[in-house]
Amino acid sequence: MGVCGCGKTTVGEALAAACGWPFFDADSFHPAANVAKMAAGIPLTDDDRWPWLDRLAAEMGALERRGGNAVLACSALKQAYRDRLAAAGKLRFVHLRGDRATLAARIAARRDHYMPLTLLDSQLATLEPPVDAIDVDITLPVAAQVEFIRQRLAPGSPSDGR
């Protein structure tokens, strides 16, 4: 979880591959109206997000009931959003944390993504940093981020290595 440009998809795909789990990008679950708003530079409201979060929770809950694991890349900026997702069952949150300059540079370099740089400040203002997540510095190489997360997902390990 984290704001746009933090590497949710890149790190999530790498983590899923390392663990042998499926990867899901929450962006692909947004209804067309949400995508259109974001592409136009209009921040989503909670009313826009609730059905999307419920759909994600339903998908993750179904997977857990089948005994599976997965990696879900999702902004989950507010605690209320993470609580909504946690209704799915046993979830562990990973917060990909970075400074505004690093995030802005990454967003500016992206191609073919609907989230414009203009929404970064809105996301940073909305972000409620989690207190119970695995906290990862996005300036680390992707492989190091993945290894850091995997170590903390292991039973009995600390959840935050800050």
In angstroms, rounded to a whole number, what is the distance separating the alpha carbons of residues 160 and 109?
A: 30
Residue 25's SS3 state is strand
Q: Which residues contact 43 (CB under 8 A, 6 or more apart)?
A: 37, 119, 122, 123, 126
Over residues 145-161, the pLDDT tens digits come to 999 999 999 876 655 44
Q: What is the mean pLDDT of residues 5-16?
A: 95
* pLDDT of residue 8 exceeding 70: yes
DSSP string across 96-158: EE--HHHHHHHHHH--S-S--GGGHHHHHHH----SSSEEEETTS-HHHHHHHHHHHHSTTS-
The domains of the chain, with CATH numbers, are: 8-153 (3.40.50.300)
Closest CA to 162 of 18, 152, 154: 152
In angstroms, rounded to a whole number, what is the distance separating the alpha carbons of residues 53 and 117?
A: 23
Share of the chain above pLDDT 70, in %: 90
Over residues 16-36, the pLDDT tens digits come to 999 999 999 998 999 999 989
What is the pTM for the complete model shown?
0.87
